[in-house]
Amino acid sequence: MSSSAPKTRGALIAIEGLDRAGKSTQCQLLMDRLAERNVPARLQKFPDRTTPIGKMINAYLSTSTTLEDHTIHLLFSANRWELSAHILKLLNDGVTIVLDRYVYSGIVFSAAKGLSLDYCRAPDVGLPRADVVLFLDLDAEVARRRGGFGGERYEVEAVQRRVRDLFKEVGEKEEGRWRVVDAGRSVEEVREVVWGVVERVVKEVEGMEVGRF
Ligand code: DGP
Ligand code: NA
Ligand code: NA
């Protein structure tokens, strides 16, 4: 019976990088390419500002609310947890998920304030693990020159500089799952590098269980 053929799961693809590195553009281009190739896929942006927790995060980022560092850290993690069962279900139903930021942003943006890396990782331990992380790497000064950062809380060159160093440190622990992509190249060049990685990973995860961070 062809209907009982083993179901293949979707891939969990995380796109990370500094503000202004082109993440959202590349996520959209990747979604377009997946659609062209008939790969069922969803885009999930973190923070997801639409949930009640996401609305608190949004108020914090837009600097209208002050929150103690650990408190906001845990809210960002809670925002990932509240969507985790939905993400797992989609993956197991064969849907590939493209994440515009994930646990890696969660770790480094808080660690940049001085919280320890171990502390910052802890609340995310157990979340669905990304099969691959594409780190769109861009010099903080180049990022700033790309039309400037916006007015949100972390969009300051000194913070972005620390964040970039921390991303590199965190990426080293991810070994083969972490791919550094030079985001200083053209949109089309970055798109092709990203697709080359994703096309392979989508095939590789067939038959593999979703890992845990
Ligand atoms: P974005 O909506 O992608 O522009 O992200 C909003 C800002 O929040 C951006 O400066 C990165 C930061 N950010 C994203 N995820 C987290 C997180 O989990 N923890 C912390 N502290 N900051 C985060
Ligand atoms: Na931003
Ligand atoms: Na973005």
Residue 61 lies in a domain: yes
Is the link from the previous residue into 47 a cis peptide, with omega within 30 of 0? Answer: yes
CA dihedral 86, 124, 137, 25 (to 10 degrees): 20
**What are the pLDDT digits (tens) for 53-82?**
999 999 999 988 899 999 999 999 999 999
Residue 90 lies in a domain: yes
Residue 4 lies in a domain: no
How far apart (Å, rounded) are the C-alpha atoms in residues 182 and 94?
A: 30
Return the ligand 1 atom nearest residue 110 CA: 21
CATH number for 101: 3.40.50.300
Phi, psi of 182 (to 5 degrees): -70, 105
Sign of the CA dihedral with 117 first, then 123, 129, and 134 last? negative
**What are the pLDDT digits (tens) for 110-150?**
999 999 999 999 999 999 999 999 999 998 888 888 877 77
Residue 155 lies in a domain: yes
Return the ligand 1 atom nearest residue 106 CA: 18
Residue pair 55/61 in contact (Cβ under 8 Å)? The answer is: no
Residue nearest to atom 19 of ligand 1 (CA): 106
- pLDDT value at 87 more than 80: yes
- pLDDT value at 1 more than 50: no
Residue nearest to atom 14 of ligand 1 (CA): 105
**What are the pLDDT digits (tens) for 161-206?**
999 999 999 999 998 999 999 999 999 999 999 999 999 999 999 8
Measured in whole angstroms, how far is the alpha carbon of residue 118 from the centre of its chain?
19
pTM reported for the whole predicted model: 0.94
How far apart (Å, rounded) are the C-alpha atoms in residues 184 and 142?
A: 8
Residue 120 lies in a domain: yes
* Candidate of 57, 102, 105, 162 to mutate for ligand 1, largest count of ligand atoms within 8 Å of Cβ: 105
Run of H or E residues at 164: helix 157-174
3-state helix, strand, coil in the chain (%, to 5): 55, 15, 35
* Residue 4: predicted pLDDT: 52
Return the ligand 1 atom nearest residue 100 CA: 3
- The residues placing their C-beta within 5 Å of ligand 3, an ion, are 23-24
Residue nearest to atom 13 of ligand 1 (CA): 105
Q: How far is the CA of 161 from the centre of ligand 2 (A)?
A: 14
- Residue 127: which domain range? 12-206
Strand partners, 137: 182
Residue 57 lies in a domain: yes
List of residues 6+ apart from 160 with CB closer than 8 A: 18, 19, 140, 143, 144, 149, 154
- The residues placing their C-beta within 5 Å of ligand 2, an ion, are 19
Residue 135 lies in a domain: yes
Residue 6 lies in a domain: no
Residue nearest to atom 16 of ligand 1 (CA): 106
Provide residues with CB under 6 Å of ligand 1: 19, 46-47, 61, 73, 76, 101, 105-106, 109-110, 152, 154-155
Q: How far is the CA of 17 from the centre of ligand 1 (A)?
A: 10
Count: domains in the chain: 1
Q: Please choose, from the candidates 89, 110, 7, the residue with its C-alpha nearest in 3D space to the C-alpha of residue 44.
A: 89
